[in-house]
Structure formats: C-alpha cells, structure tokens
Amino acid sequence: MDTVTPFQYELIYNAFSFTFAAMAAATLFLWLSRSQVAPAYRTALTISGVVTGIAAYHYFRIFESWHQAYMFKDGVVTVTGVAFNDAYRYVDWLLTVPLLLIELILVMRLSRAETNAKTIKLGTAAALMIVLGYPGEIATDLGARALWGGLSMIPFIYIVWQLFVGLGESIKQQPVAAQGLVRTARMVTFASWGFYPVVFAAPFFGLTGGSVETAIQVGYTIADLVAKVGLGILIFLIAVRKSETETVDGKAYAG
C-alpha cells in the first residue's frame, strides 16, 4: 500500500463518503420518481436507481476498505498492512456499465427488436471492456498496464462509435422537446466514459506513490458520479419531458 499524506488520506476518505451519500440519495430519488413518469419510462428509472444503488453499496465497501488500510492518529497516517481492495470498482462496473447503456437505450423507447439488439451488442462490449481492464489495473509493471489497457480500449471504441452513429439516428425519432436532453445524455456518457482511460493512464504521467493513488481514486470517483448520478438525473428529465408528450385516454399524461 502506498503511503499517503494526511491531506491525501482525508481527501480520498471524504470523496468516498460524499459519493456513497450522493449515490444513495440518487437511488431513492430515482425510485420515488417512478410515479412521476408515464409507465413506458418507469423501467428506465428503476434501472437508473439500481445502478446508483449498486454503486452506493460499493462505495460503502470501498470507504470501509480505505479506512482499514490506514491508521490516522495524532495527525500521522500509517499503513496498517491490511490490503485496500481495488477490485470493488471493477465488480461494480461489471454490473453497472452494461445497465447504464441499457437505461440510455430504454429511455429512447426504440422498437423492441432494436432495443434487444442494441442491449446485447453494447452490454457484451461493456462487460468485455471491464474484464480486459482489470488485469491492467492490478499489474505492478507499466508494460502490462499498457497492454491490458490497450486491449480494453477496443470494446470501448466500439461502444463510443455505436453511441454516436447507432444511437445518433435514433435521436431524430425522439420528440422534439426531448432531443436536446437525449443529446446531452449521450454527451455526458461519452465525456465521463472518456475520463476513465485518462485516470487509468495516471501512472504514465510520471505520478508515483500517494499522488498516483490520489489521482486514481479521486479521478474514478468523479467519473462515477457524472456517469451514474449525472446520467440518472438526465434520464429522469428525459422521461418527464417525454411523458408530457404521451397521452393516456386522449389526455396528456399528468404524472
């Protein structure tokens, strides 16, 4: 375990606690908001809440693991020898990343055939991306990190291409009032996902020890917040906006 300064220790500690609170709050918000949208969009909100809920659980565990890996007493941080379990992140992503893509597809309300095809293609690519990235994350030499990171980029680029080209055509089928929000959701997904490889590459930027640990932990945490809570709120807004254009028994849907 890298030694960290008291500032780095507390920054990471508080970032984990903040993220647990934000993920748990988003989960309850998304689930309670199901009744505010038309039935067709409720599954998208349910899954958005499942994603932040799974992340809340993992941030609780990561927080506990961080707390056990170090002792902060009398102003000094010492390593306890208990390993910090970095695998929680990859376990979380293996579950949540395919679901994030599914919530994005569901809120667009494509045809059933299109929904199924995109879910299987993007979900499989996402799982492959996570599985290939993990050996790089725990590798101790930079060569192995670069190799697995590079392999993981292949499904990553496929997903980004699909989001831009494949979903791009579907955006035109969306109600005009929701098109801007759907475009923002796609952009948030793209920007936050693009941030993960940058964080992964932190050790290549000359950072070492506590600094690289801090860059990786805080970097992934920010990316997770944007990708999960940010996208969840956008999914909610899109669902509300699209519900307003739906009619139930000839009247506009009123929640």
When asked if residue 31 is in the footprint of a copy of itself (CB under 8 A), the reply is yes
Q: 195: exposed, middle or buried (C-beta count within 10 Å: 0-12, 13-18, 19+)? A: middle
Contact 53, 23 (CB under 8 A): yes
Question: What is the per-residue burial (b if ≥16 Cβ within 10 Å, else e) of 55-94?
Answer: bbbbbbbbbebbbebbeeeeeebeeeeeebebebbbebbe
- Give the amino acid at 52: T
- When the beta carbons of 115 and 170 are compared against a copy of itself, the nearer one is 115
When asked if residue 180 is in the footprint of a copy of itself (CB under 8 A), the reply is no
Stretch that binds a copy of itself, among 73-81, 145-153, 158-166, 209-217 (CB under 8 A): 73-81
Selected binder of a copy of itself within 4, 8, 12, 53 (CB under 8 A) = 53
For residues 231, 157, 217, 221, the Cα torsion angle rounded to the nearest 10 degrees is 0
- When the beta carbons of 10 and 205 are compared against a copy of itself, the nearer one is 10
Contact 66, 13 (CB under 8 A): yes
Selected binder of a copy of itself within 4, 8, 23, 42 (CB under 8 A) = 42
Minimum Å distance from CB 197 to a copy of itself? Answer: 23
- When the beta carbons of 6 and 209 are compared against a copy of itself, the nearer one is 6
Quick check: helix, strand or coil at residue 252? strand
Applying CB under 8 A, which residues contact a copy of itself?
10, 13-14, 17-18, 20-22, 24-25, 28-29, 31-36, 39-40, 42-43, 46-47, 49-50, 53-54, 57-58, 61, 72-75, 80-83, 85, 87-88, 91-92, 94-95, 248, 254-255
